[in-house]
């Protein structure tokens, strides 16, 4: 779990291993931009230092460049900075401080941070456990098409955590998540269907189609 957030960012940037020539070229290009004050370049440079992508691993430099981007309000950097505090990577471990930065990124509309903040509330990490708050943040990310949030929101409906238990709503959100490539959501719907009538599953699937038609951002 400690590297999940970083891996997501690295994959989204198409980053490679430290010995990869393309990664080294990418690092050099980003460093030029970062030194000119580009916040996103500073964020990405911090990520590369922290995980040894295109350069020798250097946590101290990773924190330095991430903090520079954070001070400029970069939402991705704020989420990464939250992860650094959550797991004590280059800074003292402090889950409350982690939540503070996750929240800043989430309030800027960053779907990954919204999902992580939802997880924090669901599990009581850095904040008192609050399933209603978890649902609130999952929903914000789910409506932007983030599959993990869609899956989690379905789970909350299926188990009645933070919302009244509602298998049809769970099935609907898992339909959407499955359409986004969520294999676990598809498996969950197969299991949930055994506890529903055919008419209920058909109605839930139709509702999912209507929701996507109304809000195409539900699918990425």
DSSP string, 26-87: HHHHHHHHHHTT-HHHHHHHHHHHHHTSSS---HHHHHHHHHHHHHTT-HHHHHHHHHHHHH
Last residue of a domain, one of 54, 80, 102: 102
Is residue 37 located within the same domain as residue 129?
no
Together in a domain, 73 and 153 = no
Q: Are residues 196 and 168 in the same domain?
A: yes
Tally the C-alpha atoms within 13 A of residue 104's C-alpha that lie toward its C-beta. Answer: 19
Per-residue pLDDT tens for 182-219?
999 999 999 999 999 999 999 999 999 999 999 999 99
Specify whether 58 is located in the same domain as 115: no
What per-residue confidence (pLDDT) applies to 52? Answer: 93
- Which of the listed residues 102, 129, 163 is the one where a domain comes to its end? 102
With 0-12 / 13-18 / 19 or more C-beta atoms within 10 angstroms meaning exposed / middle / buried, residue 91 is middle
Q: Indicate if 157 and 91 belong to the same structural domain.
A: no
My answer on whether 93 and 174 are in the same domain is no
Tell me the pLDDT tens digit for each residue of 121-165. 999 999 999 999 999 999 999 999 999 999 999 999 999 999 999
Residues 177 and 166: their CA atoms lie apart, in Å, by: 17
pLDDT of residue 197: 97
By CB atoms closer than 10 A (0-12, 13-18, 19+), residue 77 is buried
Nearest to 52 by CA among 75, 27, 70: 27
- Give the total number of structural domains in the chain: 2
The rounded distance, in Å, linking the Cα atoms of 154 and 175 is 9
Domain boundary residue among 47, 78, 102?
102
Look up the domain containing 17 and give its range. 1-102
Alpha carbons 158 and 147: distance in angstroms, whole number: 16
Regarding whether 73 and 38 lie in a shared domain, the answer is: yes
Are residues 72 and 9 both part of a single domain? yes
- Residue 9's pLDDT is 55
| Residue 15 pLDDT grade (very low, low, confident, very high; cuts 50, 70, 90) | low
| pLDDT, tens only, 18-72 | 558 889 999 999 999 999 999 999 999 999 999 999 999 999 999 999 999 999 9
* CATH classification at residue 31: 1.25.40.10
Which region, left, alpha or beta, applies to residue 163 given φ > 0 means left and ψ of -120 to 50 means alpha?
A: beta
Cα gap 44→38, rounded to integer Å: 10
pLDDT at 2 over 50: no
Strands, DSSP E only, in the chain? none
Are 71 and 117 within one domain? no
Q: How many whole angstroms from its chain centre is CA 123?
A: 15
Evaluate if residue 4 carries a pLDDT over 50: no
User: 4 and 89: one domain?
Assistant: yes
* pLDDT value, residue 64: 98
Residues 142, 205, single domain; the answer is yes
């Amino acid at each position: 779990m400690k590297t999940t957030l970083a891996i997501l960012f690295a994959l989204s940037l198409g980053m490679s291993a430290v010995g990869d020539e393309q990664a080294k070229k990418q690092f050099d290009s980003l460093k030029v931009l970062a030194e000119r004050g580009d916040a996103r370049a500073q964020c990405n440079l911090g990520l590369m230092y922290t995980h040894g992508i295109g350069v020798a691993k250097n946590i101290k430099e990773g924190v330095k460049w991430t903090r520079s981007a954070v001070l400029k309000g970069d939402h991705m950097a704020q989420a990464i900075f939250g992860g650094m505090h959550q797991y004590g990577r280059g800074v003292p471990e402090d889950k409350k401080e982690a939540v503070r930065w996750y929240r800043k990124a989430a309030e800027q509309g960053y779907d990954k941070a919204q999902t992580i903040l939802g997880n924090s509330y669901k599990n009581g990490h850095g904040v008192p456990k609050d399933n209603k708050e978890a649902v609130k943040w999952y929903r914000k990310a789910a409506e932007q098409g983030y599959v993990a949030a869609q899956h989690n929101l379905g789970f909350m409906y299926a188990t009645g955590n933070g919302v009244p238990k509602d298998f049809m709503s769970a099935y609907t959100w898992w339909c959407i998540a499955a359409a986004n490539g969520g294999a676990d959501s598809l498996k969950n719907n197969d299991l949930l269907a055994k506890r529903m009538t055919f008419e209920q599953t058909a109605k839930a699937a139709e509702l999912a189609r209507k929701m996507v038609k109304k809000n195409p951002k539900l699918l990425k």
